[in-house]
Structure formats: structure tokens, C-alpha cells
Amino acid sequence: MSLIKLLNFQNLGDERGDLISLEQQKNIPFDVKRVYYLFNTGASVARGFHAHINLEQVAICVKGSCRFILDNGEYRESVILNSPDLGLYIGNHQWREMHDFSSDCVLLILASEYYCESDYIRNYQEFIALVNK
Ligand code: TYD
């Protein structure tokens, strides 16, 4: 079983250019409470390094590229996001890291919950303890 669950979004573009539409409970498999985006990330910067107790997310590189690592405590997998028609679904209890941001990368994240620091597990050993419970 792969940890990497990719969503392929239909491109509604035409000769004028591209267009992708995201709709909750349709091509996004949850209700969206929050949207945020990362941009101007330094070339040598890695981000993430946490899991969530109760949060679903879809990550889309709407411009440029970056590499995600997902880890469920048993397996660790890597995927490059480099297209606006590709979404990476990230469920509960998945350690995530983001690496190798291109200088033009704009990484859009749709999230099922409002920001809540107490939902974060930022310590890898705590994450391993949680998934082995
Ligand atoms: P952080 O969780 O460190 O980003 P990442 O894990 O993606 O590298 O977030 C950086 C700061 O922004 C931190 O102080 C928390 C804050 N933040 C919000 O206030 N709201 C949000 O939706 C997010 C994602 C972060």
C-alpha cells in the first residue's frame, strides 16, 4: 500500500489558458476550512517535520516544484509535486516533510480544520509512540 495518494484534477483550460477548479466533497475529499500557501521558500530550506492528530490536507504545487516525504511510522515515501493538476492527499497521523523547493514554488494547501497548534505533533519520537499505540 502506497502512502502517496495523488489526486488528478481536471484541467478546464482552453486555447486561452489553463483553469482548475477545486470543490469540497467533490474533487477535494473533505470540507475545506483553511487555505494557506508557501512561497519564496529558500533553496536550502526544508519545512514541515510534523504530523497532525486530526487534519486532512491536500497539497498542490500551483507553480514550480517541491518534494514531499510522507512517513506513517512504518514506511517513508517521497514524491515530487510539479504540476498544478496534481494534489497530494495527506491524512491524519502522517509525518510530512517538504524539501527541494524551486525558487518559483507556490505550494497551496487546503486543510479540513482551522489552524490549531495543539493538533500538531512536532516531535518524531512522539509521532512514533502515537502510531504504535
Ligand atoms: P509551521 O507550522 O512552522 O509551517 P510548516 O510546518 O509548514 O513548515 O508554521 C509557521 C508559522 O505559521 C507558525 O508560527 C504557525 C503559523 N501558522 C498559522 O498561524 N496558521 C496556519 O494555518 C499555519 C499553517 C501556520
pLDDT at 1: 78
Distance in angstroms (rounded) separating the CA atoms of residues 40 and 70: 22
Q: Is the shortest distance between the CB of 47 and ligand 1 below 6 Å? A: yes
CA–CA–CA angle 86, 9, 87 (5° rounding) = 30
pLDDT at 132: 95
Question: Could you tell me the strand order of the sheet in which 86-90 lies?
Answer: 5-8, 86-90, 57-63, 106-111, 34-39
User: Per this entry, what is the length of the chain?
Assistant: 133
pLDDT at 42: 95
List average pLDDT for each run of 10 residues in the chain, which is 133 residues long: 95 98 98 98 96 98 98 97 98 98 98 98 97 93
pLDDT at 102: 98
Say what the pTM is: 0.96
Q: How many domains does the chain have?
A: 1
Enclosing domain of residue 65: 5-131
User: Which residues are bridge partners to 51 per DSSP?
Assistant: 121
| CATH, residue 127 | 2.60.120.10
In the reported structure, the alpha carbon of residue 126 is separated from the centroid of ligand 1 by a whole-number distance in angstroms of 19
In the reported structure, the alpha carbon of residue 47 is separated from the centroid of ligand 1 by a whole-number distance in angstroms of 10
Q: Is the shortest distance between the CB of 34 and ligand 1 below 6 Å? A: yes
pLDDT at 69: 98
Q: Is the shortest distance between the CB of 37 and ligand 1 below 6 Å? A: no
Closest-CA residue, ligand 1 atom 18, reads 115
